[in-house]
Amino acid sequence: MTQAKSGNTVKVHYTGTLDDGSQFDSSVGGEPLEVTLGGGQVIPGFEQGIEGMQVGETKQIHIPVAEAYGDCHEELIQTVDRDQLPEDVDLQVGMQFQVDGGEAPMILTVTEVTPESATLDGNHPMAGNNLNFELELVELVS
C-alpha cells in the first residue's frame, strides 16, 4: 500500500489538543484538511506526522513547543493607550488585526481592554504550547 511522502497532496482529518487535554481545533465532522507535504502550508511537525501514513491509518503525534509555534515572547506583548488606537473600533478581547511589522505583516490579538488602554499580543495564539494531534489519512490525492 502507498505511503504519504514529501510532494504528495493528501487529505487528513485531525483533532488538535493541548497537553491539558483541551481541544483547540478539529476537522472531524467537516471537510478534511488538504495539504501538500513539503509545501510549508502547515508546521513541519504536522507534515512529518503525516509522512509514512497509509490511507485509513490513524495515529497520535506530539509536537513540542520548539517545533510548533515556539515560545511566547514577552517583548511582543504591549499595553498601549486607547488614544493610540482607532476611535471607531469597538475593541474586544480576542479581536485580531494586522499591522505593518516591517519585514512582514504582524497579527495582533487584543488580550485585555480597559477604558484607558488595551493590551496587544503579537505572539502566535498557540505560542508557548506543546501540540497534540490525532491524525487520520483520508485520501492520497497525488
pLDDT of residue 102: 79
- pLDDT in the model for residue 16: 98
Is there a contact between 108 and 125 (Cβ–Cβ < 8 Å)? no
* pLDDT tens sequence across 2-31: 899 999 999 999 999 999 999 999 999 999
* pLDDT 10s digits, 67-121: 999 999 999 999 999 988 888 888 999 999 888 877 888 899 999 999 999 999 9
Distances (CA, A) of 97 to 43, 50, 72: 22, 32, 19
Q: Is 96 buried (19+), middle (13-18) or exposed (0-12) by CB count in 10 A?
A: exposed
Q: Specify the CATH number for the domain of residue 79.
A: 2.40.10.330
On whether both 16 and 47 belong to a single domain, the answer is: yes
Q: Is the pLDDT of residue 1 over 80?
A: no
Q: Is 115 helix (H, G, I), strand (E, B) or coil?
A: coil
How many CB atoms within 10 Å of residue 60? Answer: 11
Residue ranges making up the domain that contains 94? 74-121
